[in-house]
Structure 1
Amino acid sequence: MLEIAVRDGRTAEHLKIIRFDDIEKYHCGQFLMAIAVAFRMLQAGIEELCGNEPPQRKDIKVLSGHGGPGFRDAIEYVTRATTHNSLTVDVNYPVAQYDPHRAQSYTFVISIAGRSPVEVSLKDGFLPLEFYDLLEKGRAGTRTESDELRLDFLKASLCKRALAMTQDELLQVKRLV
């Protein structure tokens, strides 16, 4: 099932079950691929670190190689890392640098107090070159209305695909020492 369990509150008395739909409601709806991939990355990292035992939100730290709003929204909703000042963004992180136009890593390093961190990366080939090219056109201010519609379609399609794929098809999970 696509959900993440975390504990919240002064004594971790509140169990929160977070589903993709919850993040989608929180998010503006413009970066669906990013929130889907980030959700899956967080799910994989937390599961690798904690198994079935929900961690305390305040103990989760995230280094994200991607600073985009969809990734940030998913991280914040699940972990409260921005609120807890435990989110670091490093677009130069040297893993999963797939964008041919700029530095941008599709990797999270997730750590939880007292445990070795885990690196979770999007596998190469999930995002087509067309996706990066359309993003670059947006940064250059040359994206047409037709390009906008195509990018919206790609984001929605990639979102559905990210949620439907198995973790092993979508992500690489690696323990760091």
Structure 2
Amino acid sequence: MSAIQVRDGKDVWEVRFEDIRKYHGELALMAVAVGFRSQQAAFRVLYGDSAVERKAISVVSGHAGPGFRDAFEYVTRAVSRGAYQVDTDYPRGQYDPYRPQSYAFVIKGEGAGAVEVVLKEHFLPREFYDFLKKGREGTTTEQDAEVFGRLKLELAERALALPEQELLDVRKIG
């Protein structure tokens, strides 16, 4: 798996999934992995092989969760810069049967246009949404937490291993 090259002023460095994982922790690994892969895909379309200018990126996230937020923040600092917006009603990527929550992201690069990245519909199993619902309701058992933790890790590993076209729909929109 490749890294994302980030430019911050005169400095250029590489960001890998493991870097974001250390920043985020283990709570939402699937989202961290999908957020990382989404940025890789969008930046490839917007900038080719060039480093991404951190301050030039803005993000509209269809998902309000901490894993996606942290993945975008670590790479772009969009949250801290006020260039990160959440729109859970975003029309594409609405797969959660229990609530509005989109697995779609619009990533804009100043002067480079915008890219919409949408997680493929059948990547997340129904069981994933059921565990999320239990967590919101406060009915998660210790066994549920253990099983869900393993599922999130498996999904993160799968998201990192799949070819981009099997994980994401990517299109330039502006």
TM range (shorter): over 0.9
What amino acid does structure 2 have at the position aligned with 1:2? S
Q: Secondary structure at the match of 1:92?
A: coil
Residue in 2 that maps onto 1:20: 17
In structure 1, the gaps of 5 or more residues are: none
Spell out the pairing of 1:6-155 with structure 2 (5 A cutoff).
6-9=6-9, 13-155=10-152
Identity of aligned residues (%): 53
Q: Secondary structure at the match of 1:66?
A: coil
Deviation string for 1:115-151 (max 9, x for gaps)?
Answer: 2210001001000000000100110111111111111
| 2: CA distance, partners of 1:78 / 1:121 | 19
Deviation string for 1:56-111 (max 9, x for gaps)?
Answer: 10000000001101111100001110121100100000001000000000011000
Please report the RMSD computed on the Cα atoms of aligned residues, expressed in angstroms: 0.8
Q: Secondary structure at the match of 1:67?
A: coil
Normalised to the residue count of structure 2, the TM-score between the two structures is 0.98
Moved over 3 A (4+): none
Deviation at 1:2, TM superposition (A): 2.4
Deviation at 1:28, TM superposition (A): 2.0
In structure 2, the gaps of 5 or more residues are: none
What amino acid does structure 2 have at the position aligned with 1:4? I
| 1: CA distance, partners of 2:129 / 2:2 | 27
| 2: CA distance, partners of 1:48 / 1:131 | 30
Deviation at 1:55, TM superposition (A): 2.1
What amino acid does structure 2 have at the position aligned with 1:116? G
Q: Secondary structure at the match of 1:121?
A: strand
| 1: CA distance, partners of 2:46 / 2:137 | 40
Instruction: Give the total of aligned pairs.
Output: 174
